[in-house]
Amino acid sequence: MGVRVPTEGFSFHLEGADGSARAGTFQTPHGPVPTPAFMPVGTQGTIKTLTPEEVHSLGATMVLANTYHLFLRPGHELVQDLGGLHAFMRWDGPILTDSGGFQVFSLARINKIQDDGVEFQSHIDGSRHLFTPERVVEIQRTLGADVIMAFDECPPGGADRTTVEEANRRTLSWLERCQARFVSLGEETAVPEQVLFPVLQGNVFDDLRLAQARDVQGMGDWPGYGVGGLSVGEGKPDMWRTLEVLDDALPEGAPRYLMGVGYPDDLLRSVARGCDLFDCVAPTRNARHGTAWSRGEGQVNLKHARFKRDTSPVDEACDCYTCQRFDRAYLRHLAVANEWLGHRLLTIHNLRFLTSLAAESRSRIQDGTFGTWSSEWLARYDSARKKTPSE
């Protein structure tokens, strides 16, 4: 066993199950997170167009911020000087920061991956930086999030086995270094209560996923697990199979965070396969492009001309401010005109759609009806999406 990672102030309690679907509570120093839970993404310390109070009112209990972006601007040390990420954002609930690894690989114009770390060029000003596992932990500890993620290498969808094996080897080596630095920082400095989650890689190779899960658990007891390297270009059947493989391989008593997944149908299918925490930029990104989710029609592009005189809400069953106050005709006008009010209103709806879907999943798991309910929900959603005119 490796060095034990401190978990004071954190716990996870399972409160119900229906098949592999789980309902629980992830307790943090900044409050409880009832699971399943969708975490809105505040990449640069903000959920785009919304205030923290609005995000709370939509049912979100935990949000995500990004290490790469906050490191580059405004700088993690400035955030610390201004009271830490919670005070800086005016968000009093739990926060998770991802390691920045995905952005280093996908956004940096030039990067050089080596065993020591990743050298990359800023997408903002071209400056060059080195992210090592130790540095990534130091930056996240300085930012002060409740949950911080280990540095990992995420191979793209469709990567060959040799590439994935190398990424697994490097991810495990980096995790050992992240773990050691996390523990030593806790001994050296007065820092906020935090926990470190490992990230499991392995792409869609079942044996590599199982080997990584086994090796990571062999390093000690972890307060939670990140599942990375999915929804990066692989086929959906491979994604579902991989989650089923991991469901049996991970301990029941820790939350499972499926990274970067948050479309409604994907969320439900992932909950059914044992996942607890989710994040995705889709709700806010789709809103900026005039796209919203509807139980009756699936995903709809409100810029389409057929909504010009449509006086119905985006979703008749939705209780959000947008659906209670505005119709599709007006929302279409805002989207076509690229007005920021349209971005805000559709962000409100999309986030509420996901948080309420997660909340109902939790309720259904607890009363033992999740399997039947989710199958019926997905059948209606998929059917509506297929019938929606091409946009």
Q: Evaluate whether residue 1 is within a structural domain.
A: no
pLDDT at residue number 372: 98
Residue 264 and residue 191 share a domain: yes
Q: How do the residues of the chain divide into helix, strand and coil, expressed in percent and rounded to 5?
A: 45, 20, 35
Residue 313 and residue 194 share a domain: no
- d(CA 211, CA 307) in angstroms, rounded, equals 51
Q: Evaluate whether residue 237 is within a structural domain.
A: yes
Q: Evaluate whether residue 238 is within a structural domain.
A: yes
Residue 4 has pLDDT above 70, yes or no: no
Residue 262 and residue 128 share a domain: yes
- Please say if 319 is a catalytic residue: no
- d(CA 210, CA 202) in angstroms, rounded, equals 8
Residues 144-193: pLDDT tens digits?
999 999 999 999 889 999 999 999 999 999 999 999 999 999 877 655 69
- d(CA 274, CA 19) in angstroms, rounded, equals 9
Portion of the chain with pLDDT greater than 70, in percent = 96
Report CA 243 to chain centroid distance, whole Å. 16
**Given 265, 266, 276, 279, the catalytic residue:** 279
Residue 293 and residue 254 share a domain: no
- Please say if 327 is a catalytic residue: no
Q: Is 212 exposed, middle or buried (CB count within 10 Å of its CB: 0-12, 13-18, 19+)?
A: buried
Residue 318 and residue 190 share a domain: no
Residues 32-50: pLDDT tens digits?
999 999 999 999 999 999 9
Give me the domain span that covers residue 308.
Answer: 287-376
**Given 18, 98, 152, 266, the catalytic residue:** 98
Residue identified by tokens 């280990």 is 150
Of the residues 280, 306, 329, the one at which a domain ends: 280
Q: Evaluate whether residue 209 is within a structural domain.
A: yes
Q: Evaluate whether residue 45 is within a structural domain.
A: yes
Residue 333 and residue 238 share a domain: no
Q: Is the peptide bond before 36 cis (omega within 30 degrees of 0)?
A: yes
Lookup: tokens for 22: 């789980």
Lookup: tokens for 230: 């999915």
DSSP string, 283-315: HHHHHHTTEEEETTTEEEETTSGGGTT--S-S-
Of the residues 262, 280, 298, the one at which a domain ends: 280
Q: How confident is the model at residue 1 (pLDDT cuts 50, 70, 90)?
A: very low
Lookup: tokens for 283: 């709700």
**Going by DSSP bridges, is the β-strand pair 31-35/21-28 parallel, antiparallel, or unpaired?**
antiparallel
Residue 52 and residue 182 share a domain: yes
CB 85 within 8 A of CB 98: no
Residue 293 and residue 224 share a domain: no
- d(CA 196, CA 67) in angstroms, rounded, equals 14
Residue spans of alpha helices (H) in 205-327: 206-217, 236-249, 264-271, 282-288, 321-325
Residue 165 and residue 25 share a domain: yes
Residues 282-316: pLDDT tens digits?
999 999 999 999 999 999 999 999 999 999 999 99
Q: Evaluate whether residue 227 is within a structural domain.
A: yes
387: amino acid identity, one letter? K
Residue 240 and residue 318 share a domain: no
Residue 125 and residue 108 share a domain: yes
Of the residues 234, 265, 280, the one at which a domain ends: 280
| Buried/exposed 317-333: b ≥16 CB within 10 Å, e otherwise | ebebbbbeebbbebbbe
Residue 4's CB: how many other CB atoms inside 10 A?
Answer: 12
Residues 233-256: pLDDT tens digits?
999 999 999 999 999 999 999 999
pLDDT at residue number 344: 98
- d(CA 384, CA 211) in angstroms, rounded, equals 40
Q: Evaluate whether residue 219 is within a structural domain.
A: yes
State the CATH number of the domain containing residue 171.
3.20.20.105
Kindly report the average pLDDT of the chain as a whole number. Answer: 94
Q: Count structural domains, the chain.
A: 2
